[in-house]
Chains A and B, each alone.
Chain A
Amino acid sequence: AQSVTQLDSHVSVSEGTPVLLRCNYSSSYSPSLFWYVQHPNKGLQLLLKYTSAATLVKGINGFEAEFKKSETSFHLTKPSAHMSDAAEYFCVVSLGDSNYQLIWGAGTKLIIKP
């Protein structure tokens, strides 16, 4: 069965330092993987997506993620955190070829310290 595990419920970093949000997935198929961000009291915004092209995916706002099949991971990184990055981040996997339902991770709240 497909599943997504976000390894940290909260991550706290200082402004200007690197960000790492961890995500592991389980999928019987070649998965499509996504990262979404949700700012307080706002809807969800697509940060980036992996759909079997390049394994290193670049997204908006300086974020990128690397698909590692051997580790079944899709970690999200950013070289230098900004105060505006404070939000909740969701790792998402699609169910596969004939089912377009998305399976969502529990979310990681990113806290930026000044």
Chain B
Amino acid sequence: KAGVTQTPRYLIKTRGQQVTLSCSPISGHRSVSWYQQTPGQGLQFLFEYFSETQRNKGNFPGRFSGRQFSNSRSEMNVSTLELGDSALYLCASSLTRLNYGYTFGSGTRLTVV
């Protein structure tokens, strides 16, 4: 079966712009989580969606937002991009909210110049 699909794979944006990243979970998975990975900070939790509702949010500014659609696909939006937003953004899906292990996508590499 298809894995978690993240698009685009690579993105270059200019400071001040906004960006939308997309994540299609494994078919039937209803929980989608987003993570930011940088060399300095490691993996940091952004937010989790389940049944179109944000259930948890990490410690990120309001410029970072997301949503989940009825088909469980999720989007993440970052407005007013800063250089420090350059990172690998990873999406993970899980069948339920129980911690039986998430399946990760390959990520979107965002570079802000």
Interface flags for A38-54 (1: CB within 8 Å of B; 0: not) read 00001111100101000
Neighbouring B residues of A32 by C-beta, 8 Å: 99
Report how far A82 CA is from B82 CA in the complex, Å.
Answer: 40
Q: B interface, by DSSP: helix, strand, loop or mixed?
A: strand
Closest chain B CB from A68 CB (angstroms): 19
A42 lies within 8 A of B106 (CB): yes
B: number of interface residues (CB 8 Å): 24
B42 lies within 8 A of A107 (CB): yes
A43 lies within 8 A of B55 (CB): no
B31 on the A face (CB < 8 A): yes
Q: Among A94, A102, A104, find the residue whose CB has the most chain B CB atoms closer than 10 A.
A: A102
B45 lies within 8 A of A43 (CB): no
Report how far A46 CA is from B42 CA in the complex, Å.
Answer: 17
Closest chain A CB from B38 CB (angstroms): 12
Interface flags for A80-108 (1: CB within 8 Å of B; 0: not) read 00000000001000100001111010110
- Identify the A interface with B (CB < 8 A): 32, 34, 36, 42-46, 49, 51, 90, 94, 99-102, 104, 106-107
Q: Return 29 A-B CB contacts under 8 Å, by A number.
A: A32-B99, A34-B101, A42-B106, A43-B4, A43-B90, A43-B106, A43-B107, A44-B90, A45-B104, A46-B101, A49-B99, A49-B100, A51-B99, A90-B43, A94-B99, A99-B56, A100-B31, A100-B48, A100-B55, A100-B56, A100-B97, A100-B98, A100-B99, A101-B45, A101-B56, A102-B45, A104-B42, A104-B43, A106-B42
